[in-house]
Amino acid sequence: MIGPAFLQAQAQTMSTTSSSAMPPGIERSSFGRLPDGREVDCYRITNDNGIEMRVINYGGIIVSLKTPDRTGRMDDIVLGFDSIGDYLSDTYRQANPYFGALIGRYGNRIANGRFTLDGETYHLPTNDGPNTLHGGDVGFNQRLWHVEPFSSAEGRGLVLTYTSPDGEQGFPGRLSTRVSYTLTDDNELAIDYRARTTRATPVNLTQHSYFNLKGEGSTSVLDHELMINASAYTPIDETLIPTGEIADVSGTPFDFRQPTAIGARMGQKNTQLAYAKGYDHNFVLSKTPGQGDLPTLAARVIEPRSGRVLEVATTEPGLQFYSGNFLDGSLTGKSGRPYTHRSGLALETQHFPDSPNQPNFPSTILKPDKTYHSQTVYRFSTTASENQPHAD
Ligand code: BGC
């Protein structure tokens, strides 16, 4: 079952390793250098079942993730590149897809690059039409994180830390951020986010992996079957900013409470789908009663042919489902195949977009006397046969 209680205890029990000694199951290699000469490291982490994840310290990017299909064949199920140059290229920066990266300080959009807090108005760089997307011009996805590999009773992984100076990208407060990635032997990738600030500030951290459960570089994800545990979503305007409404999904293409092929309703005449050129919406997650602060099931994706299943559980109130609408074939991935339209999907656990300007949304303001904490678990499994639904 998703929702390991160990995440709470993790900070206390893990043993980290610095310098050149690596815990068993983790290897480090060079991923190249940044233009300023700083070295980019790549960490290869494997679990006892052969699942293999590679992460770089630049942006905390998950550059590859290999999982078995129902026959045991391993494929890389996330979009990404093999060298740092590809993540730094002009083509990549123009497309700005944020493949596999940690997103901060504020995942998703802030309207008009502006918010008011305690009577003061703050201005952020606008990098998505009139709005600020994923933390501004230089978000956490472009920072070099400090990385400590660890091995604990629950699994192997990395603790990534980054301290964002007061005023960075226009945000108030010095923000100390700590994210851990744990790959467990239960085939889960558990992500734990914590942050502290010196001044009140909005924070909304997330992970931006794009999945294609057939293997990256394959055809579109329209055939993937998706369940989202949400009976409401936040409709958007033409610049993808929420209108403030919390709308019922019933009778709309946004009702994914029963597993539905992503492409099944994509062609419907619908203003929301037209604004986003597909799905690019925040879902208001239904929470399982009695689960307390533990992550609860947010979404399940099944790819019928390979049998791969991805489940997402989170403590966050929202989930941005993005169907890769802006992928257009201009980027070529690790396999040498182009990332064509809708050939990857992102399921970003988060607070709602533009919360600093939306009084009726759950608050994203972190105060100096509090610790920001959220947890998300991605779980990888398979179905036994093409016609057999996934068993809980
Ligand atoms: C946003 C999309 C955006 C994508 C890549 C997603 O989180 O919702 O609109 O295109 O990130 O930047």
CB 237 within 8 A of CB 201: no
CB 93 within 8 A of CB 79: no
Residue recorded with tokens 């994210």:
179
What's the pLDDT tens digit per position in 341-351?
Answer: 999 999 999 99
Q: Classify burial at 292, counting beta carbons within 10 Å of its beta carbon; exposed 0-12, middle 13-18, buried 19 or more.
A: exposed
The active-site residue, picked from 134, 154, 188, 208, is 208
Residue 195 lies in a domain: yes
What's the pLDDT tens digit per position in 178-207?
Answer: 999 999 999 999 999 999 999 999 999 999
Tell whether the model's pLDDT for residue 2 goes beyond 70: no
208 is catalytic: yes
CATH number at residue 18: 2.70.98.10
Tell whether the model's pLDDT for residue 19 goes beyond 70: no
Residue 315 lies in a domain: yes
Residue 221 lies in a domain: yes
To 10 degrees, the CA torsion angle through 299, 277, 206, 351?
Answer: -80
345's CB contacts (< 8 A; 6+ apart) are: 210, 211, 212, 221, 224, 226, 262, 301, 321, 322, 323, 324
User: Can you say which residues are annotated as belonging to the binding site for beta-D-galactose?
Assistant: 108-109, 208-210, 280
Atom of ligand 1 lying closest to residue 107 CA: 7
Residue 165 lies in a domain: yes
| C-alpha 97 to ligand 1 mean position (Å) | 7
Mean pLDDT for 39-48 is 98
Residues lining ligand 1, Cβ inside 6 A: 96-98, 108, 240, 280, 320, 322, 326, 346, 348
In one-letter notation, the amino acid at residue 294 is L
CB atoms within 10 A of CB 148: 16
Residue 1 lies in a domain: no
Residue nearest to atom 6 of ligand 1 (CA): 322
What's the confidence (pLDDT) of residue 290?
73
Residue 107 lies in a domain: yes
Q: What does the alpha-carbon distance between residue 297 and residue 349 come to, in Å, rounded to a whole number?
A: 11
Tell whether the model's pLDDT for residue 235 goes beyond 50: yes
154 is catalytic: no
What's the confidence (pLDDT) of residue 389?
52
| C-alpha 324 to ligand 1 mean position (Å) | 8
DSSP 8-state symbol, 223: G
| C-alpha 336 to ligand 1 mean position (Å) | 23
* Token pair recorded at residue 289: 């009663």
The answer to whether the bond into 105 is cis (omega within 30° of 0) is: yes
Q: What does the alpha-carbon distance between residue 328 and residue 340 come to, in Å, rounded to a whole number?
A: 5
CB 364 within 8 A of CB 106: yes
| H/E stretch holding 301 | strand 296-302
β pairing state of 74-76 and 62-68: antiparallel
Identify the CA nearest to 221 among candidates 65, 97, 325, 98. 325
pLDDT band at 266 (very low <50, low <70, confident <90, very high): very high
| CA 94 to centroid of chain Cα atoms | 20
Residue 345: which domain range? 6-391
Residue 38 lies in a domain: yes
Residue 232 lies in a domain: yes
Residue nearest to atom 9 of ligand 1 (CA): 280
Mutate to test the pocket of ligand 1, among 79, 94, 134, 142 (most ligand atoms within 8 A of CB): 134
What's the pLDDT tens digit per position in 286-337?
Answer: 997 777 789 999 999 999 999 999 999 999 999 999 999 999 999 999 999 9
Number of domains in the chain: 1
